[in-house]
Structure 1
Amino acid sequence: MSELITDIGELTTQCGDRQRLHDAALVIDGSRVAWIGSAADAPAADIRTSVAGRAVLPGWVDSHSHLVFAGSRDAEFDARMAGRRYEAGGIATTVTATRGASEAMLLETATALRREAELQGTTFLETKTGYGLDVESECRSARVAASVADTVSFLGAHVVPAGIDRRDYLDLVTGPMLTAVVPYVQWIDAFCEVGAFDVEESREVLLAGLVAGLGLRLHGNQLGFSGGVELAVELGCASVDHCNHLSANDIDSLASSSTVATLLPACDLSTRQPLAPARLLLDAGAEIALASNCNPGSSYTTSVPFCIAVAVLQMGLTIDEAVWAATRGGARALGRDTGSDAVGSLRVGGRADLQVLDAPSVVHLAYRPGVPLTAAVWRGGIRTPPIVSGF
């Protein structure tokens, strides 16, 4: 069945020259976009939906999240806001709660967060394991993640859990744990940071994942100059995420590579880290993505629009650059920017993942920060229930 979405006040396709189109329309046929053009030239379709001058754009591609967990770290957040420094070790609190939760409980939480993200325009989402940190719990987390997310990363190398020798744990991550999760995941990740894993340990983990047929991504340079960016570029990682502390050489390396710098501004605010140098990265020619980093300890939000608003208001991006980073940039960070299964853009023959804003322009995403603007979402051509009354 085909659907004509017409009377679009502003259409952002993220194709070609990135310009916003006006008085536009598009046709969805099944799960694909079948036609894009002027509303005056729109063909007939089985269903006609007028968006009455609202803005239409691709759904968000959230390329970094941690949705599979149990428990809360609100007390830790409260203490941090009172002046305690953020450190990676707080992850242990979530590990204890996650190991003690049933698979049904983990699935319920992750499903609710996925739905929450979709209501804010997210149509494609990556999530990670990393709060189990033993073979059984990581495998269970991977199964849950695979059932709620579009693509999954194995993050056994999050921190070394209490009660196990560091070398023994690395052998576990690169051996039995990796073998157990491989059926459910597409990527391997590591937290290359002080308090987590150093460069050589992270290299060992990523190379083991590569041998197992997984794509590579990396947490790097969040809390300091960890060497994660250099390692990510060296190994050809699809993305290196956080990137708060970058040297001039780091920026130049990213600009001359295919590795996407995924920036996580909600996390930066929550941990009171310096905001990642988004403007410097773009001006140097690097590709960036914006993502939520939804997790219970350092960024408990599923709101990509919030991240866009911060990027525009505080990180020096234009609205078009920020929207690009949260759509096409996220797709590139996940290796889903080209081909028949590409996401993050609207093109004829491409997936019909799109959203309607209850606003005339994407400018309102930063102009009206914190206001819920998503009016409707289509994911694979299927519309979610109406979000804005009367639409």
Structure 2
Amino acid sequence: MRTEIIHIKKLVNTRSENILLRGQALADLPCLDDAFLLIEDDRIVAYGKMEDLPDKRPKATNIVNAEGKFLLPAWCDSHTHIVFAKSREEEFVDKIKGKSYAEIAANGGGILNSANTLNATSEEELFDSAWERLDEISRLGTGAVEIKSGYGLTVEGELKMLRVIKKLKEKSKLSIKATFLGAHSYPLAFKDNHAGYINLIIEDMLPRIAEEKLADYIDVFCEEGFFSPEETKQVCEAGIQYGLRPKIHANQLHLSGGTEIGVQLGAISVDHLETMDEKAIRTLADSTTIGTLLPTAAFFLRMPLQPARQLIDAGCAITLASDYNPGSSPSGNMNFVNAISAIQMKMLPEEIINASTLQGAFAMGLENEVGSISVGKKANLILTKKIPSLAYMPYAFGSNLIDKVMIAGEWIS
């Protein structure tokens, strides 16, 4: 199938090479005005200005006139937990009444709450609910997504989650990466036996995950009351032996040492980063590790947001992601993530688009497949409604500005 999109008001993030952006370069967003884009099957095959559209070209089966509209790469959401059994709105009310995240977790809520319900839910039910969430986020413009386990906290529970993610990979046209997050929390059975649970992860979970080829990455929640930097290192080094590169939940609630240990381990990303000092920022800036900012999680928990401007100005490579999960960010709407990033973190619209597309692709190892308008990349695209400017997207944060979404060369909405 051949698709032509013509008279595009602005074709956004056109690139001939993949470069992980840092500092001032994050605001460098190449665009073409009055442009065309040609797609064959699921790939971008050509683009340029309308005046350069070849007269002699294969006949298109689908022609879209995008006059007055912007065309962007689909969002690349590099941090989600969309496989879960039950929402947690009762904890939401507890937070309104004044309970803290830590207090809820200490009383068996939070991650342990999700673990209890997940272990009592069938693989089929988990798949069906996750499929609905995947469909929802794709219609909101997400074309690539990382999905974590971490609500099983038992051998069979973690395997069940990862098998669901594998099935989502097989059946969905979205680009999906799977992350093993068995070290999300200590289950009650191992509350006073941390070494025993870490041994379970290393000796029982990881070999079976590797045998079934269920994960691309390994993650650990490095935080006070959860996993220490030393425990994080132990788990990640075991994962590395099975070819799983680390991603780290780092510096969410405290200066946990997660950023430093992530950099030391060569993690592809360290995620959250609400609580950063000069040392952590400098360590990240001097590394190849990407900092993944999750502003809607901080927003939902009423925490100070990530110091995006400090990170960017220091030369850190950053991306934006939704942290879609039932406890601290029950939304996978990257459009809202982008708006919060502009309104509350003072990121420029150009920085936001780069951070939510190409940078997110890098944070999943998908930079050669998605994340920019580039010949040979997958045709995962967002066609906006008629809008006056790129800045209008985060500015008009309550409006649905998406006309259509294309995933792998097919319009889905």
Question: TM-score, normalised to structure 2's length?
Answer: 0.90
Cα distance in 2 for partners of 1:137, 1:112 equals 21
User: Residue in 1 aligned with 2:48?
Assistant: 37
Cα distance in 2 for partners of 1:362, 1:303 equals 18
Corresponding letter in the other structure for 1:15: R
- Note the alpha carbon deviations across 1:347-388, whole angstroms, 9 max, x for none: 11222111111133332221100222221111121221x3xx
CA RMSD of aligned residues (A): 1.3
- Alignment of 1:350 with 2:361, yes or no, is no
Cα distance in 1 for partners of 2:207, 2:411 equals 37
- SS in structure 2 at match of 1:33: strand
Greater shift in the superposed pair: 116-125 or 77-86: 77-86
Structure 2: 5+ residue runs without aligned partners?
Answer: 17-27, 170-175
- Alignment of 1:359 with 2:386, yes or no, is yes
- Alignment of 1:321 with 2:351, yes or no, is yes
Deviation at 1:318, TM superposition (A): 0.2
Cα distance in 2 for partners of 1:208, 1:236 equals 14
Deviation at 1:14, TM superposition (A): 4.8
Cα distance in 2 for partners of 1:244, 1:162 equals 27
Identity of aligned residues (%): 37
Cα distance in 1 for partners of 2:189, 2:197 equals 10
Cα distance in 2 for partners of 1:214, 1:37 equals 39
Deviation at 1:197, TM superposition (A): 0.4
Corresponding letter in the other structure for 1:39: M
Would you say the 8 A contact 2:14–2:32 is kept in 1? Answer: no
- Note the alpha carbon deviations across 1:50-98, whole angstroms, 9 max, x for none: 1222110000000000011112210111111222111255211110000
User: Residue in 1 aligned with 2:83?
Assistant: 68
Corresponding letter in the other structure for 2:179: S
- SS in structure 1 at match of 2:298: helix
User: Residue in 2 aligned with 1:50?
Assistant: 65
Cα distance in 1 for partners of 2:205, 2:398 equals 40
Would you say the 8 A contact 1:241–1:263 is kept in 2? Answer: yes
- Alignment of 1:304 with 2:334, yes or no, is yes
Cα distance in 2 for partners of 1:96, 1:318 equals 41
- Alignment of 1:238 with 2:268, yes or no, is yes
User: Residue in 2 aligned with 1:389?
Assistant: none
- SS in structure 2 at match of 1:345: coil
Find the partner of 1:142 among 140, 162, 171: 162
- Note the alpha carbon deviations across 1:9-42, whole angstroms, 9 max, x for none: 1111252652222101110011111111012322
Corresponding letter in the other structure for 2:120: G
Cα distance in 1 for partners of 2:168, 2:51 equals 39
- Alignment of 1:209 with 2:239, yes or no, is yes
Larger relative contact order (Cα-Cα within 8 Å, sequence gap ≥ 6): 2
Cα distance in 1 for partners of 2:410, 2:245 equals 29
User: Residue in 1 aligned with 2:304?
Assistant: 274
Cα distance in 1 for partners of 2:96, 2:235 equals 33
Query: Would the alpha carbon gap of residues 75 and 14 (structure 1) be closer, same or farther in structure 2, given more than 3 Å must change?
Result: farther
User: Residue in 1 aligned with 2:173?
Assistant: none
User: Residue in 2 aligned with 1:84?
Assistant: 99
Cα distance in 2 for partners of 1:251, 1:210 equals 25
* Mapping for residues 322-341 of structure 1, pairs under 5 Å: 322-338=352-368
Cα distance in 1 for partners of 2:11, 2:66 equals 11
User: Residue in 2 aligned with 1:153?
Assistant: 179
- SS in structure 2 at match of 1:358: strand
Paired positions, count = 382
Segments ≥4 residues shifted beyond 6 Å: none
Structure 1: 5+ residue runs without aligned partners?
Answer: 387-391
